[in-house]
Amino acid sequence: MKQLTDVFQQHVQAELDGDLDTTMATMTDAPHLVNVPTLMGGDGFAGVKSFYKNHLVGKFFPPDVEMMSVARHVGSDHIVEEVVIKFTHTTMIDWMLPNIAPTNKPVEVAVAVVVKFDGDKIAYEHIYWDQAAVLVQLGLLDPKHLPVQGAESARKILTYKE
């Protein structure tokens, strides 16, 4: 199990460092990646590499990003990671907020990442978050008449941090 967490940590660190080659070296020959709320990602090695190159690696988040781990669940071939991500929307984040110009507003969002391994390589990542909560915080969705929350949902999850 430690080996899976080591590979996943290497993968995430390479994304943050802007190291596309190391990011892809942690993945199988036929991975897939889906950011569920926006359906951005890729299928197959070339598709995932293209997504990372053009939308994520080295372009992950604004400079003030904070990632707070809530919990990590490790199985024999899966990791499920719960994090709260906090940032100010000062740059384009097209994989999360396609076609939305920076609003300079703060965002806090709970994110769940499901990672499946094939041996010691990542076969896929499925990434989930509450897009309505993000849009409320950016002032793009009015919560007055809808059953949605903003940063409160992420803050609630942090109260259960392991």
Is the distance from CB of 14 to CB of 57 less than 8 angstroms? yes
Q: Chain centroid to CA 135: how far? A: 16
Q: What fold, for 2-158?
A: Nuclear Transport Factor 2; Chain: A, (3.10.450)
Cα 158 to Cα 71: distance, rounded to the nearest angstrom: 10
pLDDT digits over 20-32, tens only?
A: 999 999 999 999 9
Apex CA 115: angle with CA 52 and CA 45, to 5°? 40
Tokens of 116: 């499946």
Q: Determine the Cα–Cα distance for residues 143 and 147; give it in Å rounded to an integer.
A: 7
List pLDDT tens digits, range 54-101: 988 877 678 898 999 999 999 999 999 999 999 999 999 989 999 999
- Phi and psi at residue 18, to the nearest 5°: 80, 25
